Structure 1
Amino acid sequence: MIAIAIAALLIALHSVFSQLSGPKVYGPDDTEIAVSAGDRFSVAVADDPGGFRWVVAAPRPDPAVLRPAGAHEARSGAGPARYLDFEAVRPGRTDLRLVRCRRCSAGAADEPGARTLNFRVTVG
């Protein structure tokens, strides 16, 4: 019995530490993002099986303040999601614009069915 209780406690502690140490995840409604220099964070957007994808759009964020760090897909409570990952480089403020597009070329925001999300990122 004691071994089971200790195992359960260790699993619970691992889960808490993983959540505390993992990158912060923001959603489409989090238009103001505040992070510290060196932090990594993700913006989660609903995945669209209709051929659309989410990309960082022009004008791109100031690379001295914010750097894209890749993307990955995962399931969330609402279904499949795409996570766009970023790293806060140094203190400053920049805008981050995402667009959901099919061709994702110049003028992607004007494609039929396109959608944009805008974020203000402050790195302290």
Structure 2
Amino acid sequence: MHRRMRIAAATAALALLALTGCGSGGENHLGTVYTVEPLMKEPLDRVEGPAAVDQGKRFSIAVLRNVSAHREWKPAAAQPPGGIVRSVGSSSHQTEEERESDGSGFTVYFTYEALKPGKTDLVFANRCGNPEERCHSPGVLRTLTYHITVR
């Protein structure tokens, strides 16, 4: 019985370490986070950056996803071109305030690893910016391009 409890406790501790990014040299699993702030009035195709990242490091682009505000983001390509960076996944987080507010969204983190020196663009598409989608709204942001430089 005690052995099962110790195993369960160890498993829970390892899961917590993995979720917080601890245990891997203390580095946060999101790396440096670049947040895209929503504007009240914005162009349909927006450009951000440049963001400078060191080779071998992780970084994330954080965007607000909110279906009721017609913001449903996804990378335009599974892997960015050129082999400068590679996608390592995505995750999301909703604050207590966002959970309690009707119609609010949550933050989505698209995480990448910087592989080699160079420049690349990360392009994200808003599903609701596409006229072929049911949620389409003519005045919403269509794309977001983030210029990345790996040193």
Q: TM-score range by the shorter chain?
A: 0.5 to 0.7
What is the aligned partner in structure 1 of residue 91 from structure 2?
A: 72
Instruction: State the distance in 2 between where 1:77 and 1:42 align.
Output: 22
User: Using a 3 Å threshold, how does the CA distance of structure 1 residues 76 and 24 change in structure 2: closer, same or farther?
Assistant: farther
Q: Map 1:80-99 onto structure 2 (within 5 A).
A: 80-99=106-125
Return the letter of the residue paired with 1:21: E
For the aligned residue pairs, the C-alpha RMSD in angstroms reads 3.2
Aligned length: 103
Aligned-pair identity (%): 29
Q: Map 1:44-63 onto structure 2 (within 5 A).
A: 44-50=62-68, 52-57=71-76, 61-63=80-82
Bigger fraction of residues in strand: 1
What is the aligned partner in structure 1 of residue 58 from structure 2?
A: 40
Instruction: State the distance in 2 between where 1:78 and 1:65 align.
Output: 37
Q: Provide Cα deviations, 1:30-76, integer angstroms capped at 9, x if missing partner.
A: 52111011111111101213375211115x63241011111111025
What is the aligned partner in structure 1 of residue 6 from structure 2?
A: none
What is the aligned partner in structure 2 of residue 9 from structure 1?
A: none
What is the aligned partner in structure 1 of residue 142 from structure 2?
A: 115
Q: Once the 2 structures are TM-superposed, how far is the Cα of residue 115 of structure 1 from its aligned partner?
A: 2.6
The 3-state SS of whatever aligns with 1:37 is coil
What is the aligned partner in structure 2 of residue 21 from structure 1?
A: 27
User: Using a 3 Å threshold, how does the CA distance of structure 1 residues 123 and 75 change in structure 2: closer, same or farther?
Assistant: same
Q: TM-score, normalised by structure 2?
A: 0.55
Instruction: State the distance in 2 between where 1:52 and 1:117 align.
Output: 11
Structure 2: 5+ residue stretches without partners: 1-21, 38-47, 99-105
Return the letter of the residue paired with 2:60: S
Instruction: State the distance in 2 between where 1:21 and 1:88 align.
Output: 15
Structure 1: 5+ residue stretches without partners: 1-17
Structure 1 runs of 4+ aligned residues shifted over 3 Å read 76-79, 111-114
Instruction: State the distance in 1 between where 2:97 and 2:59 align.
Output: 20
Moved more, 78-87 or 46-55: 46-55
Q: Does the CA contact (< 8 Å) of 2:86 and 2:115 recur in 1? A: yes
Instruction: State the distance in 2 between where 1:77 and 1:43 align.
Output: 21
User: Using a 3 Å threshold, how does the CA distance of structure 1 residues 39 and 78 change in structure 2: closer, same or farther?
Assistant: farther
